A and B are shown apart, each in its own frame.
Chain A
């Protein structure tokens, strides 16, 4: 985790459970796996273009572009990684990462860059595949929108920007906590007006 001034992430310090992120930096490794979305693409380009050509055979890149965008795909492809694939959704890219890591060897390093939803799901997949957390680096870029789990009905709500948020499945009004589950890669959403469901609470846009 780099000092706050080094990163362009806008995340404020909170409870221990709330992840903080660093700045990607290549470390010694047998293979280097990257997963990024459009906000994180520049981080991948920044570190990979510094590598000597003969290291490119160790580099594997997965990318989730913004719909309709092509320029970053071209730039990432031009890096010359041994494998480069892009997928329309984080879910598909993370599934592919799982395929790649199932054949990976000890000494592999995983680098994740972009929004918290992508980073968190990449971390969880790495752990599921047996990667030690010290072999995973994360750099946060882009929106602060959160992936939230409704703790009552277990629905996953993507791209939450408001506090509180209404669960689309059970309709409860949820306080989005800083309490984060690494296993689920999601913040915990807990009913904010359980004592008095008639209580009116203003919904504000806070995670931009």
Chain B
């Protein structure tokens, strides 16, 4: 069983071009029902039926957790990816019916915090928009530090500045601006929690700086969804099902398992949550571990794989599915 087994039928109520590379999509329940409640930082999985290929990509909800009549996500177009964002940008239009999963939160605010310090890079802004609405309503102090390539690419900055004033600061690469992490993380009152969402390098810098300054690990939160990478097609044997399947170049192993009708657990579909961890029965070749879940030792053992983002190259891969 997984969250994406019970999909919610929605209609695309609005599509907004935020800037040349980002579009916002708004969804309402097909019957006009209230959508499930969620908290800031939650994501949904959007099912895309793209010319015979079924894709399910996770996107953070950016709409207010206090508004249940519609959900909003923002999608950054990535022309080098597997085609999910391209499909969203080119094929999805208002009025279209789609299916989405119920929200799941792997990046929730810690409600014990006395202050929330949010650090966003690029499209990593989206979960914070929902979180700021939540923190604002709860009356807990928060600050957002938002880094973008340029003013024109700093999606939503103007509306956030209007809503939250001095609580938000923007830093644009092309203006030579950057967040002084050392200074920022050295000046936070006790009880502050820091949250970071953005490119891998930014997450690593925040985690390393906080750790070296003595921040407890429980006060440092990050979310980095991975898009399943493209690669060479490969064959997999599913031992329990007794079948062989082929994973296409632009398909994830998880998607190929699902397409075969074989049951598998999953949740985030982005290498973060650990739900799809699968036992490797036999492996003659190399597993390309692309997840954030398995540790070095587990990777080296070649006895576990995260089918949502990881791939295989070699003679034979057999999974306990």
Interface residues of A (CB under 8 A from B): 27-30, 101, 104-109, 129-132, 134-135
Contact = CB atoms under 8 A, between A and B. Distances in A.
Nearest to B112: A130
A131 B218 CA distance: 11
B188 interface: yes
Given A130-B114, A132-B218, A132-B219, A105 B187 contact: yes
A27 B218 contact: no
B141 interface: no
Contact of A131 (B190, B213, B217): B190
B188 A105 contact: yes
19 contacts: A28-B211, A28-B212, A28-B213, A30-B214, A105-B187, A105-B188, A105-B190, A106-B185, A106-B190, A106-B192, A106-B214, A108-B190, A130-B192, A132-B216, A132-B218, A132-B219, A134-B216, A135-B214, A135-B216
Nearest to B213: A107
A105 B192 CA distance: 9
Given A28-B211, A105-B186, A130 B191 contact: yes
A78 B178 CA distance: 42
Interface string B210-231: 1111111111000000000000
Which of A27, A30, A131 is the most central at the interface, judged by chain B CB atoms within 10 Å of its CB?
Answer: A30
Contact of B213 (A30, A101, A132, A134): A30
Given A28-B211, A106-B185, A130 B216 contact: no
Nearest to A58: B214
Choose among A101, A108, A132 the residue with the greatest number of B CB atoms under 10 Å from its CB.
Answer: A132
Contacts of B187: 105
Interface of B: 114, 185-192, 210-219
B196 to A, nearest CB: 14
Contacts of A131: 190-191
Nearest to A109: B214
Given A105-B187, A106-B189, A135-B216, 11 more contacts: A27-B214, A29-B213, A106-B188, A106-B192, A107-B214, A108-B190, A108-B214, A129-B191, A130-B114, A131-B191, A132-B216
Interface of A is mostly: loop
B67 to A, nearest CB: 31
B174 to A, nearest CB: 31
A105 B218 CA distance: 16
A130 B190 contact: yes
B211 A105 contact: no
A30 B190 contact: no
A129 B218 CA distance: 16
Contacts of B218: 132, 134
A129 B190 CA distance: 7
B185 A107 contact: yes
Given A106-B185, A106-B219, A130-B114, A101 B214 contact: no
A27 B212 CA distance: 9
A106 B210 CA distance: 9
Contacts of B186: 30, 105, 107
B52 to A, nearest CB: 51
B237 to A, nearest CB: 45
A104 B210 CA distance: 15
A126 B215 CA distance: 15
A135 B214 CA distance: 8
Nearest to A31: B214
A1 to B, nearest CB: 16
A101 B190 contact: yes
Contacts of A106: 185, 188-192, 213-215, 219
Nearest to A130: B191
A74 to B, nearest CB: 30
A41 to B, nearest CB: 24
